[in-house]
Structure formats: structure tokens, C-alpha cells
Structure 1
Amino acid sequence: MFELIRSGGWLMIPILACSVAALAICLERLWFLRSSRILPEGLLAEVWELIRSGEMTPERLRSIREGSPLGALIVAGLNNSRHGREIMKESIQEAAAPVVHEMERYLNSLGTIAAITPLLGLLGTVIGMIRVFSAIMLQGTGNANVLAGGISEALITTAAGLAIAIPTLVMHRYLQRRVDSLVLVMEQEAVRLVEVVHGERDVNFS
């Protein structure tokens, strides 16, 4: 494996760096975007029970807000519930912006890696072919080792770039879709609480 990497030339260094960065981002985002962390089960029922029993204190609000992204939206709505339904919904939408931004963290970087690694591979191909033609100009076609080395470098970097770009692009699309799905569910849950607080919906958080 090391010989194969070395045969690819110096462009294998940024390609390998991109692979390490992509793997780290994917693992971190998969851990961060767990449903149990973003949408804790039973949170709405717990919040409503605290409201109904009059036990919702500033300390509990702080704990709920810091506990999960859904909690942050719920608390933003509750803090403005006395101003009416529309203001409560607007405050939830405003609170959602930084929450979504945090959920999409590093996804642009992952997309960039998916875009540049094939280009790095292509650059390696061009450099390898330049080396081949330079060797032909200087030595003719008789030195097979030099020709094979240039062609090998071109093929290895291209293959490496594509091998990293393809799974990275797949993970980028998957993670972006996961963020969109989680945000949709968070908004639906927050709106349910708004409607229950203002008596527009029966209490049913099961």
C-alpha cells in the first residue's frame, strides 16, 4: 500500500489529507446528528407536564434549552408564549436559524472535499502525462520504465481521487438530507406545542 501511495507522487499527500478530513467529518456528524440527541423522546410530554403542574422554573428552562436542539426551539417559544401564537411561532423560527446552522456545520467542507478530490486526481493525471511526454522528447520511446512510471502516477492519482470523492459525495448528500428531515420534525414538534399552549389542539404527545 505504501509503495502504491508513493508511486502516485506528491499529489497523493493532499488526496490522503482529504480522505482523513472527510472520514473525521462523517464520523463527527453521524454522532452529532443522532435522533436521540436532536429529538429526545418524550421531551414535549415532559415540558407540557411541567407547564401544567406549574413546575416550569428558569432552571428547568435552561436545562431544557441546553439539552437538545429541539429543547432550544421549545424554550424560545415558551419565553414568548404570552405575546400570542404568531409571536411564539416567529420566535421559534428565529431560534431555528442558529440551530440549523450548527447542524449543518462542516457539511460545506465535506462537499468541498467531494468536489476537489477528483480535480486533484485529474491534476495528477496531467502531471503524469507531462512527465511521459517529456521523457519521450528526451529519451525517445525506448525507456519503458520512465514511461510506465509517468502513466502509473497518472492512473493512481485519478483512481485515488475518485475513490475518495464518490463515498464523500454520498455521505454529504445523506447528511444534508438527514439535517433537513430532523429540522422538519423539530419544527412540527414545536408547532404542536404552540397549538397546545394556545388551546388550539388537544394534548396528545404520544
Structure 2
Amino acid sequence: MQEFGRLVVLTGGLLAVMPLLLVITLAVAIERFYLLKKILREGHDIHNRLRRVAYQNIAGLQAIADDTANTLQGRLVATAIVSRGETAEAMEMHLEEEIMAATPKISRLLWVLDTAVTIAPLLGLFGTIIGMVQAFNVLSVNGGATKVTGGIADALVSTGAGLLIAIIAVYFVNYFNNLTRRIMHQLELIKLILINRVHGKGLGAATQRPSVSRVGA
């Protein structure tokens, strides 16, 4: 702890920010991981249930809406039931509105990770510069080359800490961006399923061919 305090002083106090930034990054990552995986898992279950519902079976959709009322995808199902009397185009607009309203919840706090990716290396570099300035001041006053090289090595700890945080944050940014894309694709797929189940008549009815009677010779 005493050594850490010395390094904090050497880097102008910026090294002390690094543990706090790391804690914030990990806290956001854990919260986003739990929430986004939960949304994706719930959507997967609802998608599978919707695929088993017959076309124009409003009672089946209502049962799913009642069971999943507290989920994003469940609210899509409820919106589809409410707007089922309108045209397919109007119903699509209502569902799209619900998806757009859910987007901020899906992408919430991801900006913190983006910020950590950018600011952590910059803070580390700035702390290193401050430490190097102090090390060269030692050289100008005392002429001690050993103290200078040791001071520069200590100052580089700040840069290393910043890069470590940035590496962790950039991994989570890419991972959560991928999860977000999967969730948005899932919502769009559920939207199309709902429109087809409410306004469609099924592939069997659409592809059925009229029977042709054979005339005997």
C-alpha cells in the first residue's frame, strides 16, 4: 500500500483513478451481462412458443402475453393483440414503436464501457508523462541517472494500468454489441411472426392447389 501511494504521488494522483475506473467497468459489464443474457433467453423462449401458435389463434397469443407480461418480447405480443383489428401495415408500425421504446433499455450504460476504452489509456499516458517530468527534475537537480530510470519505470505503471483497463473494456464493448444486435434481430423476428400469426392464413392455405378432376376415357 505504501508503494502504491508512492506511485500515486509520482503520477500526479492519476494512478488512484485507475482502480475506480476498473471497478466501474466491471460493475457495468456484470450488470449488462446479466440483463442482456436474460432478455435474449426470454426472447428465445417466447419465439419458440410463438412458432407453435396457429395462424389467427388470438387465444394462443393472449396466453403467451399473459405469461410474459414483464418481458420486452411479451409487451410486443400484447401490442400485437391490441392492434390486431388494424391492417398489417398499421400493426407493424405499432410493433416498431414498441421496439424503438425498448432500445434505450437494451443499450443503457454501454457508453460507460466506450468511455473506459478511450479514457483509460489517455489517463495512464498522462500519468506517465507527469511521472517522467518529475524523474527528469531529479536528474536536473541531483544528476542521478539511476533515480531517473527508476522514476520512468515507475511512471510506466500508469500507462500499463490504463492499457489493461482498455483491453478489458474493449472486449466487453464488442461482446455486448454482439448481444445487442442479436436481441434487436430477435425482436424484429418476433414482430414478423406476430404480423403473420394475426393477419396471415398460413403457408398451407397459400400453397394449396385446387384438385383437378380426371375425365375417364
Alignment: residue pair count? 197
Q: Judging changes above 3 Å, is the alpha-carbon distance between structure 1 residues 78 and 48 closer, same or farther for their aligned structure 2 residues?
A: farther
Q: Structure 2: any 5+ residue segments left out of the alignment?
A: 205-217
Looking at structure 1, the residues matched to 56 and 89 of structure 2 have their Cα atoms a distance apart, in angstroms, of: 23
**Could you say which residue in structure 2 is the equivalent of 1:97?**
100
Work out whether residues 113 and 169 of structure 2, in 8 Å CA contact, stay in contact via their aligned partners in 1: yes
Q: Judging changes above 3 Å, is the alpha-carbon distance between structure 1 residues 200 and 131 closer, same or farther for their aligned structure 2 residues?
A: farther
The structure having more radius of gyration, on CA atoms, is 2
Q: Residue by residue, what CA displacement relative to the aligned partner does 1:164-206 show, whole Å, maximum 9, x if unpaired?
A: 1012111101101110111102211221121121025449xxx
1:198 matches 2:203: no
Work out whether residues 114 and 168 of structure 1, in 8 Å CA contact, stay in contact via their aligned partners in 2: yes
SS at the partner of 2:62? coil
Q: Give the Å deviation of 1:37.
A: 3.2
TM-score, L = length of structure 2: 0.79
Q: 1:69 aligns with which of 68, 72, 78?
A: 72
Q: Judging changes above 3 Å, is the alpha-carbon distance between structure 1 residues 195 and 31 closer, same or farther for their aligned structure 2 residues?
A: same
Work out whether residues 56 and 201 of structure 2, in 8 Å CA contact, stay in contact via their aligned partners in 1: no
1:110 matches 2:110: no
Which piece of structure 1 moves more, 26-35 or 70-79? 70-79
Q: Percent identity?
A: 26
Alignment of 1:12-91 (within 5 A): 12-34=15-37, 35-41=40-46, 42-44=48-50, 51-53=57-59, 56=62, 61=65, 64-66=68-70, 68-91=71-94
Work out whether residues 70 and 186 of structure 1, in 8 Å CA contact, stay in contact via their aligned partners in 2: yes
Alignment of 1:178-189 (within 5 A): 178-189=179-190
TM-score, L = length of structure 1: 0.83
Q: Give the Å deviation of 1:33.
A: 1.0
Looking at structure 2, the residues matched to 117 and 48 of structure 1 have their Cα atoms a distance apart, in angstroms, of: 53
Work out whether residues 132 and 155 of structure 2, in 8 Å CA contact, stay in contact via their aligned partners in 1: yes
**Could you say which residue in structure 2 is the equivalent of 1:156?**
157
Q: Residue by residue, what CA displacement relative to the aligned partner does 1:69-108 show, whole Å, maximum 9, x if unpaired?
A: 1112222222212111011111111111121210111101
